[in-house]
Amino acid sequence: MDNLGLVFAILGAAFAAGFAGIGSARGVGIAGEAGAGLLTEKPELFGKVLILQILPGTQGLYGFIIALLLLNRIGLIGGTPVVLSWSQGLAFFAAALPMAIAGYFSAVYQGRVAASAVSMIAKDSSQTAKGMTLSALVETYAVLALLVSILAVFNINI
């Protein structure tokens, strides 16, 4: 019971990295499936397809960043772990949730948009920039979640 705060904080870091990573894996997979279909017909479009497939992977990176910042803040990386009350631990857990939730959903939906963009460039490869723009717009919400989680992690008093 003495370490309950630390457990909640570590759980928050795990949620941020885990859910954003799972979302990225799903999103990259969705885009990759569409890309593989196109590349059997038009292998010369590999570079354009690869960019669209990479885009949903960034949410996993953002979740990893939040996990590292949180673990560093509580002293588990490069320091001595701090003693956290259960309310402080819950605060760290809550700080990680925006990235965990928005990271998961934005990665999946970005993968779907990227898959649609692959279909778009299958018909007209000059439309790649439009497809990338549409995919990148979904990323906006992951970036906002990243900023919210960063601000929250650094504004918890310990």
Task: Encode 52-79: b = buried (16+ Cβ within 10 Å), e = exposed.
Answer: bbebbbbbbebbbbbbebbbebbebeee
Q: How far is CA 82 from CA 12, 31, 76, 90, in A?
A: 16, 42, 8, 14
Q: Smallest Cα–Cα separation from 73: which of 58, 86, 88, 61?
A: 88
Distance CA 84, CA 73 (A): 11
pLDDT attached to residue 54: 95
For 136-144, what is the mean pLDDT?
A: 95
Lowest-confidence region among 14-18, 73-77, 112-116: 73-77
Tell me: pLDDT of 156 over 90: yes
Tell me: pLDDT of 116 over 90: yes
For residue 157, report the phi and psi dihedrals to the nearest 5 degrees: -80, 125
CATH of the domain at 97: 1.20.120.610
Name the pTM for this structure. Answer: 0.92
Give the structural domain span for 143: 4-154
Mean pLDDT estimate for the chain: 95
Number of domains composing the chain: 1
Which residues touch 11 (CB under 8 Å, ≥6 apart)?
93
DSSP 83: P
Cβ count within 10 A of residue 97: 18
Rg for the chain (alpha carbons), in Å? Answer: 19
Q: Please report which confidence band the pLDDT of residue 1 belongs to, taking 50, 70 and 90 as the band edges.
A: low
Tell me: pLDDT of 2 over 80: no
For 98-105, what is the mean pLDDT?
A: 98
Give 38-79 pLDDT, tens digit per residue: 999 999 999 999 999 999 999 999 999 999 999 999 999 877
What's the length of the chain?
158
